[in-house]
Amino acid sequence: MEILQEKALLSIKGKIGKILLVLAGLLLGILFSYCNDKEGPSGFAHVLMLDNSFSPQLMKVPESATIEFINVGGNPHNAISADGSWSTEKTFGNLVMNRGQKTKVTYPQKGVYPYYCSFHATKDAKQGMVGTVVVGDVSYETSKTGKKIEPITKWTGVTRNVPKQYPTIQNAVDAANPGDLVLVEKGIYREQVTVTTPYLIIRGVSRNDVILDGEFVRANGIMVMGADGVAIENMTARNYQLNGFFWTSLKGYRGSYLTAYNNGDYGIYAFDSVDGLLENSYASGSPDSGFYIGQCYPCNAVIRDVTAEYNALGYSGTNSGGELYIIRSLWKNNIVGLAPNSLDRELLPPERETTIVANLILDNNYKDAPIGALEYPSFGNGILIPGGRGNRIERNLIGNHVNNGIGLLLNLDDNVWLAHDNIVKDNIIFNSGRADISLSGPMSKGNCFSGNKFRTTLPPLLEELSSCNGIRFPQGSDLSFVFGAASMMIDAADGDFPHSSYKKQPIPVSQLEMPEELFTKSEPAYNVFEKNKPNLANVDLPQEANEILKQIGANKSSSLGILATIQPFTFGSFLYHWIGFLLPYMMFITWVSMSLYDINNRTDLGTNALPISLFVVFLPFIGAFYYLIFGKSTLPKWFRYTIVFGSLVIFMALISFTGIIIARGIGGKQLE
């Protein structure tokens, strides 16, 4: 008998060694795949196929980059290079791509590739549904002459008046030379304007009475495509299927005193563009974000004195950052105030080094927002950092959010993006449903929290144990918010979430006109960042904050901490959230306490009780699993198998369920 037990013990020791090795290998594998830098550029670009246009029409990518083409329109589409070198037919396997279908094309050779949709354009890629991919560092000029134009820093003195000289804005823009001013008189302009001439100034005489109207049938209000230095001032764009004002693939942009409302993708939008300023502007009613600066590093850009409301996201910037300042602005009544994020579906991940200072961020719990399934899990938060790094969040006033004031968490795309090295300092956060500040898992490094005024943090003691200058203890692995967000994804995948259409959003009140003195100062957008880089020490909260500051404390919030349910409440999401979050804890406690109880009752283990206890307790799950299944435990077999495999099966079922639902339900964006 004793010999048998001795053997069993020896075999336990041998197996423990093997299991340890396997476990270490597994962990290293996971971590290594996370840290491993792939060859070629990280992330991929994406081009939407709409009815009937590509967006963006011009896409610049580095050599060996990949572009994903996604049909979000109702018609069948494809993309074929004019020179025949690539097509979506080759990668997708079918000339016809229907709504929701997507395919990835990789570009190993540098060059300029005009392309077309064979159903909706001419084969020379000049008329109809056409686009251009520019790969690598090749010269490509969109201007009329096709030649590179030296930067123009001053107005040429030429004014082109719409409609006195030119009947449409597009006519005036086409006629203009770099450095000219296009001046638009009051009126409603039912057109979409594409700008390919650099250094223009496009100005309305009245912000509220110069209106570009897409009537829900045109794509973009004003799209500046590859043309550097274009400034747009003092006008409104509404009811476009995609964007109000849009700069793409260029250097130098400025948007001043602009209003964009009820546009179907973004309000005011800069993509793959650097050196910019968006100021004194207003964006509402967009199902993605009001303001967006994406895919740039360093962006060298400033957003200041703007207001965003009734959007899905007030500000969103995917894979942007580096000298990117968002200051003194008002973000209210969206589903989330600001959400700079990392995703694989655009180039240059991760999002990093965005500076968010002195903003007023309120009530971002807007249930009638025009959101899609992809946006819904960010509901009810002031600032979310999904997978962002090295962002500075300072001196903001953030209040009345049903979930979190500030939330740091992972973002899930083709890769897992974790939030690291973010600095959260000196903010005032009040009346949040879950937590004023939430740091969420599954892992993170270097996020720090100091000098904030708040009532609740998750995990607790965040400022004490993850302070910016003091001691550190790991805090970045709380999974309650991760499971909460996942529960919302599951609701969203079923279409079970509150949302409305961008076409039905509130029409904004009259907005502040551009001051008279700026009419005499006409400047193209040259060297914009250098001239407008903020001195952060002098940046104060917007005026509206003073009233709010007086009222804080009047309405107190309470929070159930990690057990607080995500809002909006549904029974399904509540069950999922609690079971998903608590099950691993229950499994751990059950397995370990039963193992220790058994070890304590055994007299045959002798001095081996110590290493076996260590193994069971401090190698989470693996240790106790191994002991209960292979460790000659004296507990009855039916009991051991029930607590181990029973709970494992339930947990695995939950994880597979999540995986299937999310893979099926959360794809690209949906456009109406």
**Contact between 618 and another protein per CB under 8 A:** yes
248 and 268 in contact (C-beta within 8 Å)? no
The full DSSP string for 352-377 is: EEEEEES-EEE----TT----TTTGG
The Cβ of residue 177 has, within 10 Å, a number of other Cβ atoms equal to 16
User: Which is nearest to 444 in space by CA: 356, 385, 509?
Assistant: 385
Question: Which of 147, 157, 469, 471 forms a contact with another protein (CB under 8 A)?
Answer: 471
Span from 71-79, 323-331, 540-548, 594-602 in contact with another protein (CB under 8 A): 594-602
Give the residue carrying structure tokens 């997708």. 92
Judged by CB, which is closer to another protein: 272, or 478? 478
487 and 580 in contact (C-beta within 8 Å)? yes
Judged by CB, which is closer to another protein: 34, or 639? 34
Strands 159-162 and 411-412: unpaired
Q: Which residues contact 667 (CB under 8 A, 6 or more apart)?
A: 100, 102
- Say how far residue 38 (Cα) sits from the centre of its chain: 22
Least Å from the CB of residue 411 to another protein: 16
Least Å from the CB of residue 13 to another protein: 15
Give the Cα separation of 159 and 139 in Å (integer): 30
Question: Which of 62, 76, 620, 665 forms a contact with another protein (CB under 8 A)?
Answer: 620
Least Å from the CB of residue 28 to another protein: 7
Question: Which of 22, 26, 589, 655 forms a contact with another protein (CB under 8 A)?
Answer: 589
Environment class of 648 (CB within 10 Å of its CB; exposed 0-12, middle 13-18, buried 19+): middle
Question: Which of 446, 498, 534, 561 forms a contact with another protein (CB under 8 A)?
Answer: 446
**Contact between 444 and another protein per CB under 8 A:** yes
Task: Compute the C-alpha angle 629/631/634, nearest 5°.
Answer: 90
**Contact between 476 and another protein per CB under 8 A:** yes
Question: Which of 128, 167, 515, 597 forms a contact with another protein (CB under 8 A)?
Answer: 597
Least Å from the CB of residue 18 to another protein: 20
Least Å from the CB of residue 31 to another protein: 4
Judged by CB, which is closer to another protein: 196, or 440? 440
**Contact between 563 and another protein per CB under 8 A:** no
Where does 159-242 show beta strands of DSSP type E?
Answer: 159-162, 181-184, 187-189, 193-195, 201-204, 210-213, 220-225, 230-238
What are the structure tokens assigned to 19, written together? 């299991």
- Say how far residue 475 (Cα) sits from the centre of its chain: 23
> By rule CB under 8 A, what count of residues binds another protein?
48
Build a one-symbol-per-residue string for 331-360: x at contacts with another protein by CB under 8 A, - elsewhere: -------------------x-xx-------
The Cβ of residue 549 has, within 10 Å, a number of other Cβ atoms equal to 14
Build a one-symbol-per-residue string for 402-441: x at contacts with another protein by CB under 8 A, - elsewhere: ----------------x-xx-------------------x
**Contact between 203 and another protein per CB under 8 A:** no
What are the structure tokens assigned to 657, written together? 């369920």
Least Å from the CB of residue 58 to another protein: 28
Restricted to residues 11-70, the positions that interact with another protein (CB under 8 A) are: 27-28, 31-32, 34-35, 37
Which ranges constitute the DSSP H helices of 350-507? 462-465, 480-493
Least Å from the CB of residue 619 to another protein: 10
Interacting residues with another protein (CB under 8 A) = 27-28, 31-32, 34-35, 37, 350, 352-353, 389-390, 418, 420-421, 441-446, 459, 471-478, 585, 588-589, 592-593, 596-597, 599-600, 607, 609-611, 613-614, 617-618, 620
